[in-house]
Amino acid sequence: MMVTTLQHETQSLIDILKTLPPALKPRLEAYTDGACSGNPGPGGWGAVLYYQGLEQDLSGGEPLTTNNRMEMRAAIGILEALPHPAQVEIYTDSQYLRDGITRWMINWKKNGWMTSDKKPVKNKDLWLQLDALTTKHQVIWHWVKGHSGHPQNEHADALARNAIIAQQMGMMK
């Protein structure tokens, strides 16, 4: 795949997407990953967005979080960054994220956000955000094996790990 990285250019991929007509619903790809130093501990998330040969990195972190929350924040970060409804294929190495959004959430909602064991769903706040965002965007979820040499997944993982370092150094709010 031929990719142009926009990190050092004046116009970001997100800025380019803002110029498209909202009715266009562009087809995008995103690779996401979350990481945590300790679980819980300082965490980071990374995401790489692709559109027509262009690429943009997004990342963030939290001082005290879990790996699952960072996996979810990566997907939320991508979807929140999109200025208009889009068709997005999200690739994640988190079965928790993929299965939660594609299999489990429907029953959690029916059961008042309780699991089949009658316990409150963990990370409900983030599941609610994802639910709202997947109503706005058409999302197809894919699972990829983590740490297996998949270039885009490794890129997202590096962004997440760098976000942890930035968090530990006090470089992130």
Give the catalytic positions in this structure. Answer: 33-34, 71, 93, 147, 157
**Residue 122, CA atoms < 13 Å, CB-side half-sphere:** 10
CA distance 74 to 108: 22
From residue 45, alpha-carbon distances to 22, 104, 155 in Å are: 27, 23, 11
Please answer whether residues 32 and 46 qualify as being in contact, where contact means their C-beta atoms are separated by less than 8 angstroms. yes
CA distance 61 to 35: 9
Query: Which among 148, 164, 144, 130 has a CA at the least distance from the CA of 31?
Result: 144
Please answer whether residues 30 and 90 qualify as being in contact, where contact means their C-beta atoms are separated by less than 8 angstroms. yes
Which contiguous run of DSSP H or E holds residue 5? strand 4-5
Query: Which among 83, 94, 77, 73 has a CA at the least distance from the CA of 141?
Result: 94
